[in-house]
Structure 1
């Protein structure tokens, strides 16, 4: 740290409380820290795969790849949803390719081992030549699945609350948006980013940068933007202002967004956002609902996965509002990409380790505290010597 920062405090273990400090910069680039995050945060953490409406028929499937695993969610002939690792039990080959499809059976392209839609191993060519094979025990490896409000979540290891328990404080707030009836608008978009996954999440829940870095959102929300942190969920919100924006996309959205009959009056012009631990977000608007998640692909890289969902509404004003929403948020995404890139680059400087946090940064303070509880080495201001995670 620089001498100036040291004069503020030296936030190391046993000296002062770390509640008012960010995570140390080294945790945003260290391979060993990233490996522990995969094991302790992402394996037991929930990730969204798709919506029930995306796989309506027997044989329909969607997949999700993250932290070295590939998970497939498939609807069985009994119409039940199940999740498995996308791995053949013979030699470890991946079974299906791509992000979605439909199949009567799941057949490994390597040696044609065949699995039923419920995961049972039903076919092995020349099965008599495998003296150690027990077909009853060689089905696809199951993955825990939960459907919440129509959205399908998976987690690789059990532990911690369900999605429903995480979102319980907000169930009544979300109910009018009729999540189970949503349908996809377009396809999933994948956006690689050369930043640590935590930088994406930190930025998502940061309210202080809105009036500085997002002029469009500031024109739309004025001073109504707010944030709060529950144990497993962050919430952000803002109300559209009556004064017309000087930007044509924003002004047109303000004018054209039509009334939505099933929403209460206080939600007709309300935007709000939820971030579920560790890295799933729902952006909820009167006209549509987006989910977004950011998944680590390396210590200093991640991929953002997102798609929009809507309720059937053929009004021209609604179609226009959805297009304008996309234009507005495309600009916000570009602004955020520039911000998180600047932060990732700045963290590489030896002059920076930890930064003081404002009392208004409630979501970030909560996130930092939780990371330090899960990986106590995050209390160390400086990067430990290589091999620290194995000691």
Structure 2
């Protein structure tokens, strides 16, 4: 076992011990103080526009999984904050990303969704592009006139594949330094061999302002009141541990049975017991929440818009093993529907009610308690990016 893996295992074991203490003594992680966030930050169109420009079009966004594009020629075409994006694995196995916009007249070169092909053809005039984005052919080129084909390639976006995920920056030529950005956090996904998991499908739901929705993924304070029959029977409310990795977070949630689960496990092996007595939700700033579980994994990918009071969330589902047979597929679909329904009916419905409440002007600020450090940390980092001044000190957990 290498040193990084051993240190991570030791750290997870230490966190498990802390969470065991939380359950036994009815305590939780505590911030230094209560924090306030302006209500207007959830409703102000100008702030929403600033978030799009200073955050979502600058930082690395997790837009796809290795499991969605397992073979050369596989592609995924999608909308990301109003931008048409095309992600493709070329014949050499390298992942590339482009704006899905033909250089002739601006039409898409691939329809939204997944597929496999050797080249992309614009349906408007039939111009074709290779998996590397280069313009290959112009329909009836002898009548079109002379152009520099090399200068008419698809517009490339910075892209890198790491730990079973594909990260893209939505601004051409933007810097993309995943090591600096994630501060070792991607090792968590490497350690479980996430790159070789199977993709099971997705569901799309819509909700309120993206931060209202995302706030719900960052704390367990609401489990007893909002999820009494679904989450709380497994996970006690208000027993949460937080760690920061740059702007991203690992959030620990002990299970009610943590003492029983760890009772006969040697202390030095507690670092291998994730999902047996405790769970983690992994937050990839600014918009991804991943709950890795052996039965099925849900990864929520939140996209702001199309207006400040709305978000579109894509819920992705993966697991270690591919679908075995039709019976297995039916069971997987049942689990997917369950997780989708809990997320939408219990979290997103109240989120839309919260949106209405905030727009009423009833309060100038929202209050995040000392027990809601994850929410505080998220908003501190969001504000750091919005100030657009790299000389300012970065938030710390």
Length-normalised TM-score, structure 2 = 0.76
Separation in structure 2 between the aligned mates of residue 66 and residue 224 of structure 1, nearest angstrom = 34
Separation in structure 2 between the aligned mates of residue 152 and residue 337 of structure 1, nearest angstrom = 26
In the other structure, the counterpart of 1:250 is: none
Secondary structure, counterpart of 1:271 in structure 2: strand
In the other structure, the counterpart of 2:213 is: 200
Separation in structure 2 between the aligned mates of residue 343 and residue 371 of structure 1, nearest angstrom = 20
What is the aligned counterpart of 1:30 among 41, 44, 51? Answer: 44
- Tell me, yes or no, if the aligned pair for 2:59 and 2:169 is still in contact at 8 Å: yes
Separation in structure 1 between the aligned mates of residue 224 and residue 385 of structure 2, nearest angstrom = 33
Secondary structure, counterpart of 2:234 in structure 1: helix
Aligned pairs for 1:35-184 (under 5 A) are 35-127=49-141, 133-157=147-171, 162-171=177-186, 173-184=188-199
1:344 aligns with 2:358: no
- Tell me, yes or no, if the aligned pair for 1:225 and 1:236 is still in contact at 8 Å: no
What is the deviation of 1:46? 2.6
Separation in structure 1 between the aligned mates of residue 109 and residue 96 of structure 2, nearest angstrom = 16
1:305 aligns with 2:318: no
Length-normalised TM-score, structure 1 = 0.77
- Tell me, yes or no, if the aligned pair for 2:238 and 2:371 is still in contact at 8 Å: no
In the other structure, the counterpart of 1:382 is: none
What is the deviation of 1:92? 1.2
Secondary structure, counterpart of 2:367 in structure 1: coil
Alpha carbons of 1:329 and 1:236: their partners in 2 closer, same or farther (altered >3 Å)?
Answer: farther
What is the aligned counterpart of 1:265 among 273, 281, 294? Answer: 273
What is the deviation of 1:214? 1.8
1:291 aligns with 2:304: no
Separation in structure 1 between the aligned mates of residue 102 and residue 336 of structure 2, nearest angstrom = 42
Deviation digits for residues 141-178 of structure 1 (CA, Å, limit 9, x no counterpart): 11111212112121113667644544444455444432
1:236 aligns with 2:257: no
Aligned length: 338
Separation in structure 1 between the aligned mates of residue 240 and residue 314 of structure 2, nearest angstrom = 25
1:274 aligns with 2:282: yes
What is the deviation of 1:30? 2.4
What is the deviation of 1:124? 1.3
Separation in structure 2 between the aligned mates of residue 286 and residue 56 of structure 1, nearest angstrom = 21
In the other structure, the counterpart of 1:369 is: 380
Separation in structure 2 between the aligned mates of residue 286 and residue 145 of structure 1, nearest angstrom = 29
Separation in structure 2 between the aligned mates of residue 333 and residue 116 of structure 1, nearest angstrom = 39
Deviation digits for residues 255-282 of structure 1 (CA, Å, limit 9, x no counterpart): xxxxxxxx93354343221111110121
Alpha carbons of 1:191 and 1:325: their partners in 2 closer, same or farther (altered >3 Å)?
Answer: closer
Secondary structure, counterpart of 2:366 in structure 1: coil
- Tell me, yes or no, if the aligned pair for 1:224 and 1:239 is still in contact at 8 Å: no
Separation in structure 2 between the aligned mates of residue 20 and residue 191 of structure 1, nearest angstrom = 32
Secondary structure, counterpart of 1:355 in structure 2: strand
Task: Show structure 2 runs of 5+ residues with no match.
Answer: 1-32, 259-270, 389-397
What is the deviation of 1:205? 0.5
Separation in structure 2 between the aligned mates of residue 132 and residue 74 of structure 1, nearest angstrom = 29
In the other structure, the counterpart of 2:222 is: 209
Secondary structure, counterpart of 1:219 in structure 2: coil
Alpha carbons of 1:241 and 1:303: their partners in 2 closer, same or farther (altered >3 Å)?
Answer: same
Alpha carbons of 1:37 and 1:91: their partners in 2 closer, same or farther (altered >3 Å)?
Answer: same
- Tell me, yes or no, if the aligned pair for 2:223 and 2:237 is still in contact at 8 Å: no
